[in-house]
Amino acid sequence: MRGREKQLGLKVVKADGSVEQYIHTKVLGAICNAMTAAEKADIAAAENLAEAITYYIHHRKSSETLTSCEILSIIKAVLSSTGYEDCAALLNEHHIHRRIKRSRIEVAPVDISQLADAEVLYGQNLPQKNAWNKSIIVNDLVDKHKFSRQSARAVAAMVEEKVLNIGLNMVPASLIKQLVLSDAAAILKAQRQLQTA
């Protein structure tokens, strides 16, 4: 099963309520990141653990849907039971830290093109703010720009990573738009290169 995605027909319900196909390499990536953070990087061990998790999920007798939190719990349980307790703890800490950062970010419907616009961002008369939600980016790219859901989720993930790393609690909508355009262009370019390779 290595080297290709597992086509299980399993659907994963994300924290934002969106649904996507189960992707084996996301499990592998989570394990690799946790091992790297614990300075125990071992791609062979990570692949074996990811294979075991995908096998378990595929052969369980319950429904064909699973939440992302359930998958995270399975990954942590497998890491803890195979001598990688520190990796499981770091994975849990990373998950909690990101969830807290996401919950603190608000998007202001402000188009910043000059200093006066920037002042509105921190003024008293700021229009209604919205909580950060990357599924809005996904839905917009799918509905308005005909992106595949997988490509749209990749763009949204790239944008979210930049937004989290910026460290601002109030992000102007115009910045989000520029990040989406930049990362969408990068994804489209990469797809064209793969098609011509």
Among 70, 101, 132, give the residue marking a domain's end: 101
pLDDT for position 192: 87
5: in domain: no
150: in domain: yes
Using CA atoms, how far residue 122 sits from 41, 115, 177, in Å, is 44, 12, 19
Does residue 28 sit in the same domain as residue 42?
yes
Q: How much is the average pLDDT of 13-28?
A: 86
Does residue 57 sit in the same domain as residue 97?
yes
Among 77, 101, 125, give the residue marking a domain's end: 101
Domains in the chain, number: 2
Mark residue 3 as left, alpha or beta (left: phi above 0; alpha: psi -120 to 50; beta: remaining).
Answer: left
Mapping DSSP to helix (H, G, I), strand (E, B) and coil, where does residue 27 land? helix
Does residue 178 sit in the same domain as residue 119?
yes
Residue 3 binned pLDDT confidence (cut-offs 50, 70, 90): very low
Could you read off the pLDDT of 95-119 as tens digits, one per residue? 999 999 999 999 988 888 777 777 7
Tell me which residue range forms the domain holding 130: 105-196
